[in-house]
Structure 1
Amino acid sequence: MSGRRILVTGLSGFVGRHLPYAIDELLPDAQLLPLPCDITDAAAVRNAVVDLRPDACLHLAAIAAIPIARAEPDRAWSVNLHGTLNLARVFRDERPDAPFLFVSSADAYGASFQLGRALDEDLPLSPMNTYGATKAAADLALGAMAAEGFRAIRLRPFNHTGPGQAPDFAIPAFARQIALICAGRQEPVLRTGNLAAFRDFLDVRDVCRAYALCLKHGDRMEPGIILNIASGTARRIGDVLQGLLAISGVAVTVEAEAARARQTDIPLAVGNSSRLRDLLGWTQEIAWEQTLRDVLDDWTIRVAEQS
């Protein structure tokens, strides 16, 4: 894949902004090409791919926040399912030799997490929210296309965070409130959702390195392969919050708000990524404490810039 042109959707998003660093490390001669159109416009997507003639695709773009997908389901389905199919179909028709990396989501496993153990890729998709359903539908559709030879690679990352993430997600939401409290712009009361749930968290930079490895070796992967990207470690969300508070040194009162809790929250969601490790040698490199520190530093800077 070295020296090739890689079309990346969502390149300006949270994950996309971290991706170039991983690409520079593992594919230093590759060129990243942003999709120059709305992914829901099938004709524009087809014209863009025909004009750009990419050698591979990494499809990141999505309505990724669960509350937003729940509030705007039509938009979530349009982007996450139909936008994915718009892109996949033109790659199938016009760039059949190009690996197509689809970033699905561990949220698609849904009720399968009720098994209470780390899930591997063989567990059924059983989504419990709109976001997970849209990702599962696209994942399954690409699997059907792969059965006919389409070179889809399905990646299922678990929760990942890092500097630059929007406060629509738990860890940056905590960090933002802590930064505001430290700056004297919020009373020392930190409002949360469910702190009892356990989640498998990763640093976004480790996830991007997994994507870069998949791009580097995509030419030799079987069509339709599924790869979890997970730490294998279950962290209690309340403990994550306490880790951020310990780094900040600030004293706060923590208040759980029912409005922030999900109606179908999963008590434990953790993954098994041994297939990715065995196939490509991927391992986590960034210490969890460093991830938390970097997220908090990022929000401290952002809050200061907004004052």
Structure 2
Amino acid sequence: MVVATVPNLASAAEYFFQIGVEGKRFRPTVLLLMATALNVHVPEPPPSPWGDTSTTDLRNRQQSLAAITEMMHVASLLHDDVLDDAETRRGIGSLNIVMGNKLSVLAGDFLLSRACVALASLKNTEVVSLMATAVEHLVTGETMQLTTSSEKRCGMEYYMQKTYYKTASLISNSCKSIALLAGQSAEVAMLAFEYGKNLGLAFQLIDDVLDFTGTSASLGKGSLTDIQHGIVTAPILFAADEFPQLLEILDQGFDNPENVDTALEYLSKSRGIQKTRELAMKHADLAAQAIDSLPETDDEVVRKSRRALVELTQIVITRNK
């Protein structure tokens, strides 16, 4: 899907799809498991003017959606790295450092355009609407992070809404789209959505923890990245609940390195890390419950995929990178 006629643009667009720097492929893995978990007892669709609607065609369309989702995700990373002046990503130099900000932005735009072309080929208006909403949420979440007032960024509700937009919306709407492509009911599609939403929130909450407890080598990026960029995440918010004096530091911002050190001192004395892990576990449990609520089936392949989706909720909250 990522084909560009201009060599530099092609190299930039393919930068994070190369072997060794392709990332965890977390989202495509979830979506392909979800596809198998839901492709059961679905009534045969009526004849389509668009051609084949066989099981093979369904699987191909769902695989395309998984690729589309990853392209949208990588595009957001390229844009984020420019906004954050990031120097590394996935253990190597970020594209904006290697090829410059302009080409990095253009590569992100190109990936989004290719994703839109592939999305249109699925010929499902509801799926197109869901995925367009996910892109809108990516932009909204980033804007919330950039323009928020001091008062708002210190609120957990605002933080969770931003986190949903930036991280969980893409995977939740993609999971729902997988269900819709399979012809599943509105109830099943909503369970798929809830799984993606809660898994995405759990994933980001653990990412927030690892930003304080991980190492640059294991994370593929520098530790303390968020706080050094003035981004307040769940561990710090929970710490501020225990130590209100931390709110003054948050209000001042983190341009002064001493404020970063002070915030870390309060964090180390608080239960901020533990409470963030507990919140991640709560969302992981909600994701697992969504899978357990799917209609029963005797198909062992489907059941195996559903077990894998449930196991993934535990992998997400116990990972160290």
TM-score range, shorter chain: 0.3 to 0.5
Q: Whose radius of gyration is greater, 1 or 2? A: 2
Q: Which has the higher helix share?
A: 2
* Bigger fraction of residues in strand: 1
TM-score by length of 1: 0.33
